[in-house]
Structure 1
Amino acid sequence: MKFYKRYILPLYFGRRFYWSFVAVILLYVLSYNWPVLYPVAQVSLWFFVAMVLLDFSLVFLRKEGLNIERIVSDRFSNGDINKVQLSITNLFHFRIQIKVIDEIPVQFQQRDFSVSGVLNSEETKNIEYNLRPVERGEYIFNDTNVFVKSPLGLVVRRIKNEGEQMVKVLPSYLPLRQFELMAYSNNLAEAGSRKIRKLGHSLEFEQIKEYVTGDDIRSLNWKATARKGGQLMVNNYTDERSQQVYCVIDKGRVMKMPFEGMTLLDYAINATLILSRVALIKQDRAGLVTFAENIGHFLPADRKAAQMGSILETLYNQQTKFLESDFEKLYAHIRTRISQRSLIVLFTNFESLSGLQRQLPYIRHIARNHLVLVVFFENTELRQLTDEPAEDIETLYTKTIAEKFVYEKRLIVKELQQHGIFTILTAPQNLTVNTVNKYLELKARQAI
């Protein structure tokens, strides 16, 4: 999106103006003791005034001094690096010095952004800078201010590119392209930390093809081989399709915890967007449920062309709440609205075993009819505390408490696994990769 306007605002004075003015005053002061300096002071004053008027005419008499253009996308990807470009063209007939101050959105709290440089006549300078938003919503860019000085450097003119530009910060969509290419090439596991081993065949037969090195010899089709006169033929299978994958996002107070500027909810939303896209590429149907003290949004699983747009638009407006999430309402909603066996990927967080035990009965009820994958977060700051050496009693006490909480996280994993519920305990920055890997593993095992 491009925005283009030019305005002329009042003048300012550069440092050279003040130093020169102080020098003239100093000559007048010294002339009281040395009268011979008085004529020099008068000549200096008139010369100074002449230079200021000349500088003023150089900088202000040309109305169209600069072309200023901000080039920025109409949407940003949350948690990712987004590029902004400023294009400035010098329309003066002489070399100028510039200082650029771009009024970036207040959400970034970056109040010292400025770039200085030199522009020759008719030269265009492209200034690029990066922004990393950490919360979704509408971000407003305001004016672009360029302070211009001529070679004399006495007078400064501010030229303003005035107006507002609104940019929507959406859930992280920049990694989508990377995952799409890997999914289409069946190399999606390479985005993670390990390869996914295919376990057995899926139930859907695709075709009979000639045997090549690496094919499973257990898939040999002897009848087709005999018809081909001894050329080995194998049955080719494909993953089962049209399975339902629902991402269920907890919006309660437990998801308000921050990590590297972003809340756990934002990490869950980013992972949901990627996982939904991968599921659609794999010909599964992707759906979405959000809940807190009440059910928020429900998007039925589908694989229509507009499904990703619907998911993205739904995720864009999700916000955390400080109330306790109601898993009983979630269970009732899933029981009535999702009749077909599905993969339920539940993004939530449990900090203690007692917190899990309050919600475990409802998760077990959901697992009776669906395959449930509970995804919750490792407290990386506690992990750092446990790795630090204890140098005094206070540090030892803190480290012991941290180890207790870390141990409880492992107990939560074991408790869920004992009831046949799949679990991912992950650091927030690894959430997307681990979730996609687990989905591919479950699909390869035909668990859905």
Structure 2
Amino acid sequence: MMRLFGKYYTDLFLNKRLFIGLGLCVSLFVFSFFLSFLGDLPYFFLGALVLLVFIDLFLLYRHEKGVFLRRDVPERLSNGDDNEIKIYLENFYPFEVKVGIIDEIPFQFQKRDLWFSTTLASKTQKSITYALRPTKRGEYDFGQTRLYVQSPLRFISRRFNVGVRKLVPVYPSFLKLRQYELMAISNRLTDFGIKKMRRIGHSMEFDQVKNYVAGDDYRTVNWKATARKGDLMVNSYTDEKAQHVYCVIDKSRAMKMPFEGLSLLDYAINASLILSSVALVKEDKAGLITVAEKTGSIIQADRRPAQLNKIMEVLYKEKTRYLETDMEALYISIRATLKQRSLVVFFTNFESMSALERQLPHLKRISKFHLLLVVFFENTTLKTLSEEPAKDIEGIYIKTIAEKFAFEKKLMVKELAKHGILSLLTEPQNLTVNVVNQYLALKAQQRI
């Protein structure tokens, strides 16, 4: 009996309306000492309140499963994106209920006020949708969903604890990956800000002979086919295929800097995944190398359907390290792994010219054998400080230092170009678009 009572007691909560009623009862009893005409009114009021509470208890507990709830969480979440979570509700009570929902989301989101309130008519269903944006890869622990139900009397609430603990992995940004894949297949990458590159000349891979349309290069006119058919015909060429594209990701402490909740490493991982996807759609071969104080994961370039999943599984586990990058180890790994000339996209970060100068000899050695593209990041905070007007002496000092660091970033681009190394200086939020643009530009220029 006590166990049964404890079961219901732990899920029983008193509402504000009950406390207001009890407060009125106390007030009536106090006033009845001074106002004799109140008589037995306080006792009738208290009796009515107790009766209503018992009726409320009967209404809520007469059905074992009065409300059905199901939380739909994806099998995996996409890092840095808004992931949709759905809560499905169905009311089996013969009356309208008011429900409040507390969803026990993972502690990584640091949300303590996730409360949903709604009403649900009898025998009806309703869905509640909200979004979660994770900023770290790894496993996220979802707890139970707490459902608080009130009858039309609303003196008490009954709690339903729904669901069990569920661990959901957070992978690199695969939601944007799907969007880019669809855009690349349909040649609508410009919808993401990716430029359509003008082709310089044409590749040597012949595709077909087709009718001339306005805008075709007159140098591709096929005069023999034109003479045979009587209409102007041109040769059509396709991009060079099966080129090797390697993303090399620096995992050292330089990539730990945060921006809008994500580290630079996470931005690099998301961009690498999407670049690999676009390269595979363009029928090139995609590979991956990670490096810190020693060489990490290596995935040989391939274009099989399972290649992208293999890259994603490796990137899911990568974390920043606290030591500097061993460029000698990276050079040895590249020489041992890359058997033909490839596009090597190196995601790293330099905060000073001295940091670049330490790595420059190794970058020059890599660029002798491969087309090297060094991608590093603008410090957006310093850029904002350098653009704001100074209000005092301290502001002038801060502005000058910020401009100095911003100018050094531009000097790094020129220093790399002086040694024949391609570079891309970009803001973190524009990294993916700029990297894919650069890849398409290099293909259009037939440099890979």
Q: Which residue of 2 aligns with 1:97?
A: 98
Q: Which residue of 1 aligns with 2:235?
A: 235
Q: Which residue of 1 aligns with 2:385?
A: 385
State how 1:36-435 maps to structure 2 within 5 Å. Answer: 36-192=37-193, 194-228=195-229, 230-435=230-435
Task: State the Cα distance separating 1:190 from its structure 2 match.
Answer: 4.8
In 2: Cα distance, 1:126 partner to 1:361 partner:
59
Task: State the Cα distance separating 1:184 from its structure 2 match.
Answer: 2.0
Task: State the Cα distance separating 1:243 from its structure 2 match.
Answer: 0.5
Task: State the Cα distance separating 1:31 from its structure 2 match.
Answer: 1.9
For 1:112, give the aligned amino acid: D
Task: Note the alpha carbon deviations across 1:139-174, whole angstroms, 9 max, x for none.
Answer: 121111111111111111111113112222111111
SS of 2:174's equivalent in the other structure is coil
In 1: Cα distance, 2:304 partner to 2:24 partner:
76
Task: State the Cα distance separating 1:207 from its structure 2 match.
Answer: 1.9
Task: State the Cα distance separating 1:188 from its structure 2 match.
Answer: 2.9
Residues 345-354 or 233-242, more deviating: 233-242
Question: Is 2:194–2:436's contact at 8 Å kept on the other side of the alignment?
Answer: no
Question: Is 1:189–1:196's contact at 8 Å kept on the other side of the alignment?
Answer: no
Residues 362-371 or 231-240, more deviating: 231-240
Structure 1 gap ranges (5+): 1-6
Task: Note the alpha carbon deviations across 1:331-379, whole angstroms, 9 max, x for none.
Answer: 1111112121000000000011100000000011000000000000001
Residues 245-254 or 315-324, more deviating: 315-324
Q: CA 1:197–1:391 in structure 2 vs 1: closer, same or farther (change >3 Å)?
A: same
For 2:79, give the aligned amino acid: N
For 1:411, give the aligned amino acid: L
Q: CA 1:360–1:166 in structure 2 vs 1: closer, same or farther (change >3 Å)?
A: same
SS of 2:358's equivalent in the other structure is helix
* Aligned-residue identity in percent: 52
Q: CA 1:11–1:187 in structure 2 vs 1: closer, same or farther (change >3 Å)?
A: closer
SS of 1:175's equivalent in the other structure is helix
In 2: Cα distance, 1:268 partner to 1:199 partner:
29
Task: State the Cα distance separating 1:38 from its structure 2 match.
Answer: 4.3
In 1: Cα distance, 2:228 partner to 2:153 partner:
92
SS of 2:20's equivalent in the other structure is helix
SS of 2:280's equivalent in the other structure is helix
For 2:264, give the aligned amino acid: L
Residues 163-172 or 353-362, more deviating: 163-172
Task: State the Cα distance separating 1:193 from its structure 2 match.
Answer: 5.5
In 1: Cα distance, 2:345 partner to 2:66 partner:
58
Residues 34-43 or 214-223, more deviating: 34-43
Question: Is 1:52–1:155's contact at 8 Å kept on the other side of the alignment?
Answer: yes
SS of 2:149's equivalent in the other structure is strand
Task: State the Cα distance separating 1:290 from its structure 2 match.
Answer: 0.3
In 2: Cα distance, 1:32 partner to 1:162 partner:
52
For 1:292, give the aligned amino acid: A
Question: Is 1:90–1:119's contact at 8 Å kept on the other side of the alignment?
Answer: yes
In 1: Cα distance, 2:33 partner to 2:190 partner:
86
In 2: Cα distance, 1:186 partner to 1:129 partner:
32
Question: Is 1:189–1:437's contact at 8 Å kept on the other side of the alignment?
Answer: no
In 2: Cα distance, 1:145 partner to 1:52 partner:
22
In 1: Cα distance, 2:322 partner to 2:81 partner:
26
Q: Which residue of 1 aligns with 2:3?
A: none
In 1: Cα distance, 2:427 partner to 2:166 partner:
35
Give the TM-score of the pair, scaled to structure 1: 0.96
In 1: Cα distance, 2:84 partner to 2:163 partner:
20
Q: CA 1:319–1:151 in structure 2 vs 1: closer, same or farther (change >3 Å)?
A: same
In 1: Cα distance, 2:163 partner to 2:287 partner:
43
In 1: Cα distance, 2:195 partner to 2:209 partner:
30
SS of 2:157's equivalent in the other structure is strand
Residues 295-304 or 206-215, more deviating: 206-215
SS of 2:28's equivalent in the other structure is helix
Q: CA 1:225–1:12 in structure 2 vs 1: closer, same or farther (change >3 Å)?
A: same
Question: Is 2:380–2:427's contact at 8 Å kept on the other side of the alignment?
Answer: yes
Residues 205-214 or 380-389, more deviating: 205-214
In 2: Cα distance, 1:74 partner to 1:161 partner:
18
Question: Is 2:70–2:163's contact at 8 Å kept on the other side of the alignment?
Answer: no
For 1:186, give the aligned amino acid: N
Q: CA 1:186–1:93 in structure 2 vs 1: closer, same or farther (change >3 Å)?
A: closer
Task: State the Cα distance separating 1:284 from its structure 2 match.
Answer: 0.5
Residues 33-42 or 406-415, more deviating: 33-42
Question: Is 2:11–2:160's contact at 8 Å kept on the other side of the alignment?
Answer: no
